A and B are shown apart, each in its own frame.
Chain A
Amino acid sequence: MAEPVSTSTLIGSDGFELHPADETAILEQLKHYEQPQAACIDALKIVQRRHGWVPDDAIPAIARVLGIGPGAVEGVATFYSLIFRQPVGRHVVLVCDSSSCFLTGFDELKQALVNELGVDYGGTTSDNRFTLLPVCCLGACDGAPALMIDNDTYGPVTPDDLPRLLEGYP
């Protein structure tokens, strides 16, 4: 587990400004739902797409756009595993640790990833390129062991495949 990041690093002194395009994108999501709170997860993902993660100061900014309390947004932001509350690297590696992968070489693949990247779960490489996280069953069990890098799913992946796979994500 990564060391907790101090609050001063999380919150810039200038506070947080929601990018106008992001605000528009969030408002666009509202039309799909009866209540604005439903766009909460979409809003967090929109902010994360721009910043790579969701800083604390983004929470009240999102809450204002949705017209709900910041506590409701924070509750959601801390629940879902694909919403990142600490800075991550330019690329996120999600390695599937569920049963089919466990039965077909997950341990070796994960160890190879740790060796290749030099970080364990929750860690980010010193060049800020990769963050390594576990993910539950990727639904690619006929291609186990599987992993995702950003939006791309790979499988089956052997430890030998890793160097050239990672090379595709500068």
Chain B
Amino acid sequence: MSQSIPSQRQSTQYRSRLLQPETERSADTHPLTWRLRDDGEAVWLDEYLRKDGYQSVRKALNEGDPQAVIANMKEANVRGRGGAGFSAGLKWSLTLQGGDMPRGYLICNADEMEPGTFKDRLLMEQQPHLLIEGMILGAYANNSFYGYIFLRGEYVESARVLNRAIDEAREAGWLGPDINGSGFDFDIAVHTGAGRYICGEETALINSLEGKRANPRAKPPFPGQSGAWGKPSVVNNVETLCNVPAVILNGADWYQGLSGDRTKDGGTKLYGVSGPVEKPGLWELPMGTTGAEILERAGGMRDNRQLKAWLPGGASTGFLLPEHLDLPLDFDTVGKEGSRLGTGLLTVVPQEMSMVALMRNLEEFFARESCGWCTPCRDGLPWTVKLLQALEHGQGEEGDIELLDKLAADCGPGLTFCAHAPGAAMPLETALRHFRHEFEQGVGKPRGEAHEDPIPVGQV
């Protein structure tokens, strides 16, 4: 019996994978994934170098102009793939450098924990050198002397692969002093976390990196002015950094051209789908691909179910409807519909799913993961959960839905230190708008009759 255990354990062991075979991917069209192997094994240094690896670093360091790297990134308009969509080039142009300013830090946000998001894991586990290459370019542009990959603690395999790749790169002279004979020094350490979604917020991440509780910091100063240990610090998502090498190698015009006339946002995007679809997965597609095209790649809804609603990019984005499936999924278009592109990984909701129950699940997550720093978030989110639990069981009171409206508004942008509470408010606000009747069905008691009290929140 014990003999057979290892193979059985393998049978459901999770492995990150891309659902596009090598034959569909090329360097011209799939800058993020063309080097990935069909067998899903990591691309180590020898193979990476054979596939034009580190050419962008060679080029940028030979040219010797960090400002040109920033200009290229600005022109390409690479927008932050962690979900916020802020121009990476613009962010870099705001980093303090020169004069008496000490060299700072280049931090990769690899704290992938947004519910429904599983893209950065693929890049780190199968192509670690692309991230390292992107980080070297980022460090060169921002005059950073040291880099951290802030990795969530649960990504054990990512940590193993990244550490081995960093050792390989250092041994080959791509990290460390005088990189490739350029006189530029830069090295990277993997910093693993110990849980808590809030670590993905860039200022909370810096506090966590410094060995403190992951509470966000007030901005300004922005990290580019004063970040880790008071030094200029740049925080970029894994996928954002993985876009940099091809931009530097092929130029901004080429990058813009990748998305054709779908959208003014350039490049490609790792899009994906999860939930009850036939083939949940990940694909590298032109920026501005529609939800319908992505859902089709996923084989449609599982067991001929009907699509009721979908989240375009994680738990902190707003619900969209089937009628929105033909919109190009770029930052501005999705923003106009009262949602956000977020991480670009779709979560689909089938017709029979109760929106009240799903919202309860989402708000339990946000309530549990609140760091407790600001009142609307710390107190408002558990209150929201309590109301949703009551509505889910037909125990809601008259006025509860209006109270949820108000709680969502009170958690909106600008009322808290960071984007956690606004992220919790957006799915709630859109669910109340699109599916109000479902919430109304949960009102079973007249106003003033006490809720069963108190319903425990968070469970742990």
Contacts and interface: CB of A to CB of B under 8 A. Distances in A.
A109 to B, nearest CB: 12
Contacts of B280: 100, 141-144
A72 to B, nearest CB: 8
A16 interface: no
B167 to A, nearest CB: 14
Contacts of A79: 196, 213-214, 371
A156 interface: yes
A163 B228 CA distance: 46
Contact of A103 (B209, B282, B347): B347
B153 interface: yes
A100 B212 contact: no
Given A97-B361, A103-B358, A154-B14, A41 B349 contact: no
A82 B191 contact: no
Contacts of A164: 5, 8
A118 to B, nearest CB: 17
Contacts of A37: 210-212
Contacts of A134: 459-460
B235 to A, nearest CB: 16
A99 B195 contact: no
A148 B347 contact: no
B369 interface: yes
Given A98-B116, A100-B347, A136 B365 contact: yes
- Among A34, A79, A140, the one with the most B-chain Cβ atoms within 10 Å of its Cβ is A79
A44 B12 CA distance: 31
Contacts of B126: none
A32 B188 CA distance: 9
B189 interface: yes
A101 to B, nearest CB: 9
B311 interface: yes
User: What is the size category of the interface that chain A forms with chain B?
Assistant: 35 or more
B189 A141 contact: no
A157 B12 CA distance: 7
B460 to A, nearest CB: 5
Contacts of B117: 137, 139, 141
B365 A97 contact: yes
Interface string B12-30: 1110110000000000000
Nearest to A135: B154
A81 B155 CA distance: 15
Contacts of B5: 164, 167-168
A103 B460 contact: no
Interface in B122-176: 152-157
A146 interface: yes
A167 to B, nearest CB: 6
A152 interface: yes
A170 B243 CA distance: 44
Contact of A100 (B8, B112, B116, B154): B116
A103 B353 contact: yes
B270 to A, nearest CB: 12
A21 interface: no
Nearest to B371: A79
A5 interface: no
Nearest to A149: B9
Contact of B345 (A32, A39, A81, A141): A141
B196 A81 contact: yes
A154 B196 CA distance: 20
B451 to A, nearest CB: 20
B275 A104 contact: yes
Contacts of A41: 193-194, 208, 211
Given A34-B229, A100-B347, A138-B154, 18 more contacts: A35-B211, A44-B194, A79-B371, A80-B195, A81-B195, A82-B194, A97-B365, A99-B116, A99-B361, A104-B276, A135-B195, A139-B112, A139-B154, A140-B121, A144-B280, A153-B14, A165-B9, A168-B8
Q: Top 10 closest A-B pairs, CB basis?
A: A81-B195, A141-B274, A40-B211, A98-B115, A80-B194, A82-B195, A37-B211, A142-B280, A100-B274, A137-B115
30 contacts: A1-B460, A40-B211, A41-B194, A79-B196, A79-B213, A79-B214, A81-B194, A82-B194, A98-B365, A100-B347, A104-B276, A136-B113, A136-B115, A136-B369, A137-B113, A138-B14, A139-B112, A140-B14, A140-B121, A141-B118, A141-B275, A141-B280, A141-B347, A142-B17, A143-B280, A144-B280, A152-B9, A153-B154, A168-B6, A168-B8
